[in-house]
Amino acid sequence: MARGFHVAVAGATGAVGTEMLKTLEKRNFPVKSLRLLASKRSVGRELEFRGEKLKVEELTENSFQGMDIALFSAGASRSKEFAAATVKAGAVMIDNSSAFRMDAKVPLVVPEVNPGDVKQHQGIIANPNCTTIILLVAVKPLHDLSPVKRIVVSTYQSASGAGALAMEELEKSTAAYLAGQTYQHSVLPHPYAFNLFSHNSDVTANGYNQEEMKMVHETRKIMHDDAIRVCATSVRVPVLRSHAEAIVVEQARKVSVEEALAALAKAPGLKVVDDRKANYFPMPIDSNDQYDVLVGRVRDDLSCDTGLALFVCGDQLLKGAALNAVQIAELL
């Protein structure tokens, strides 16, 4: 393998973990050695990296000796369980779970938005929630033109956000529906084929579910602005992979559609898809397997003098998870 860093991937066999491996390879990250970690049931399984087959090892407290970077996508409980061992071994944990996102000592980073926060790490850096990442990649260029005071966002979230088993449930339930057969769902709480429903995270005391509140709290932390008001509605839709979001922003001053489109076109991590004549705008099918977040439908908010409305799509497994984590490693 190439000269460079010793990298561990915890949760290597999951939907995000496998995308982390592909992303490290595609972006030619300088990997000197790679250690694949997962639960005991996956031990011995082989995954390919740069043409070489590597065996999966069991994730234990001794897994991080000699490692420089540990990419975690094994769930919040596992991240909390192994954080101390990872840091003690001298590796920097880049964690894709919710375990440390709101910890004041842990930077929460979207490289296109707040790359400088990486320097503040004390051994752990958190990857934001997928919907927050996709939202802020598109909002940050507008915020730079004129401070964003308020965000109203509705998310249309794909099966991949609930993991590989949810993606499988969507495929199987759709096939059963089309064949006129019954299908007993077990991964998600409601029938998934040809249906949509409020996001399956727990509903909190204020009526918003946990997914929606993540967007509120994480946006303020990443943007370093507790005054930004965020109203989110998160919906699970029968799409396999990419998330979509309808976003309305209220800014300090009126930004024209032309000014906004010019800023979005220049911004890193974005691709403008905004063809009014052809009625062609961002779609999940076009953002699958893409690093860039697609942004379009940019128009004046008719209900607010200083508002803009836009629509975005982003690959939940890539920019919403694996790619963002690898970009943080690149910043390191």
Please report, in tens digits, the pLDDT of each residue of the chain (332 residues total). Answer: 446 999 999 999 998 999 999 999 999 999 999 999 999 999 999 999 999 999 999 999 999 999 999 999 999 999 999 999 999 999 999 999 999 999 999 999 999 999 999 999 999 999 999 999 999 999 999 999 999 999 999 999 999 999 889 999 999 999 999 999 999 999 999 999 999 999 999 999 999 999 999 999 999 999 999 999 999 999 999 999 999 999 999 999 999 999 999 999 999 999 999 999 999 999 999 999 999 999 999 999 999 999 999 999 999 999 999 999 999 999 99
Q: Is 6 known to be catalytic?
A: no
Distance CA(200)–CA(197), nearest Å, equals 8
Q: Is 143 known to be catalytic?
A: no
Q: Where are the alpha helices (DSSP H) in the chain?
A: 15-26, 76-88, 130-145, 164-178, 210-223, 257-266, 284-287, 323-331
The structure tokens listed for 25 are: 């390879």
Ordered by start, the domain boundaries in the chain are 5-128+322-331, 132-316
Q: Which CATH class is domain 5-128+322-331?
A: alpha beta
User: Which candidate, 80, 90, 81, places its Cα nearest to that of 123?
Assistant: 90
Q: Give 240's contacts (C-beta < 8 A, 6+ positions apart).
A: 158, 159, 160, 167, 170, 171, 288
Which position among 6, 121, 130, 313 bears the catalytic label?
130
Q: What is the pTM of this model?
A: 0.95
Instruction: With both helix axes pointing from N to C terminus, report the angle between 257-266 and 130-145 in degrees, rounded to the nearest 10.
Output: 120
Q: Look at the block and give the residue holding tokens 């730079």.
A: 144
On the CB side of 19, CA atoms within 13 Å amount to: 26
Q: Where are the alpha helices (DSSP H) in 2-145?
A: 15-26, 76-88, 130-145
Distance CA(275)–CA(290), nearest Å, equals 19
Distance CA(5)–CA(68), nearest Å, equals 6
Which position among 143, 199, 243, 313 bears the catalytic label?
243
Q: Which CATH class is domain 132-316?
A: alpha beta
